[in-house]
Amino acid sequence: MAQVAFSHQFSHRWSNAPQAVKDALLQEFEDIMQLLDADTDLESFEFTVPDLHAHIDAINAEVAAEKEAARLEAEKIEADRLEAERAEFEALEAERLLNEEQHTEQQAQAEETIDLDQQVVPAADTDLVEDSIEAEVDNNSAIDTDTTADTEESDTQASDTTIDTSESQPATVVDETEAEISASASFAFDNSTPKAELDADFIKELESRIDDYLSEQLANMSEDLKSWLREQVANRFDNK
């Protein structure tokens, strides 16, 4: 019986072939062995799979469709995840801006209250100073009146006595200090977030190369089997 010589990559190709393709090829081998049996009626014999090539092509197309569906599903899941992350980020950013705006308003109100307090306190101090000056003036006027009366009563002693009166008035200086409050620097939010993206084109190219490679190798294996089949059939007819 003739020996079939397969390439050294046959084991690798066979391991990576879809299970449905393996089952179809094994069934084809069984049909061929049955055909080569001396008790088999050649006129009534039929293969289990009438067109092996068409059957394998259909299987490969189905496998490719499943891979494409899985790829699309993975892309959809990734897109949904990115959309959820984007919505969450926008919600957090909106909340942060709202909190920052409220904080700014509260700080502005606090500064306005401090300014009003600083304006009221100097006004009260000024009123006290004015009241003190008026009291000093009234006191000095009373002293001057008493001195004039005494002078008129003692005219004879006025030429011998010289009265020097020095008046001193207190000076009050009011210093006003204004407090300056600087608003806190706004917080700079870093919204740069690196995200890993799936290179779908690269994966699709690899899948296409694998499919082309597997189809080519299976075609070579089919040609080997055909040659072996022709040789076996020819030998059987020669023996009869």
What's the predicted TM-score (pTM) here?
0.36
Count of domains in the chain? 1
Please report whether residue 233 resides in a domain.
yes
How far, in Å, CA of 236 to CA of 36, rounded? 8
Pick the residue with more confidence: 201 or 149? 201
Please report whether residue 216 resides in a domain.
yes
Please report whether residue 74 resides in a domain.
no
Please report whether residue 63 resides in a domain.
no
Mean pLDDT of 37-43: 80
CA–centroid distance for 133 within its chain: 71
How far, in Å, CA of 174 to CA of 179, rounded? 16
Q: Is 29 a residue whose pLDDT tops 50?
A: yes
Q: Is 126 a residue whose pLDDT tops 70?
A: no
Pick the residue with more confidence: 210 or 87? 87
Q: At 193, is the pLDDT very low, low, confident or very high (cuts 50, 70, 90)?
A: very low
Mean pLDDT of 66-94: 94
Please report whether residue 240 resides in a domain.
yes
How far, in Å, CA of 48 to CA of 60, rounded? 19
Please report whether residue 169 resides in a domain.
no
How far, in Å, CA of 164 to CA of 197, rounded? 101
232 is in which domain, residue-wise? 199-240
Is 152:213 a contact under the CB 8 Å cutoff?
no
Of all residues in the chain, the percent with pLDDT exceeding 90 is 21
> 3-state secondary structure string, 76-121?
HHHHHHHHHHHHHHHHHHHHHHHHHHHHHHHHHHHHHHHHHHHHHH
Please report whether residue 36 resides in a domain.
no
Q: Is 199 a residue whose pLDDT tops 80?
A: no
Q: Residue 191 has what pLDDT?
A: 46
Is 45:34 a contact under the CB 8 Å cutoff?
yes
Q: How many CA atoms lie within 13 A of 237 on its CB side?
A: 6
Please report whether residue 52 resides in a domain.
no
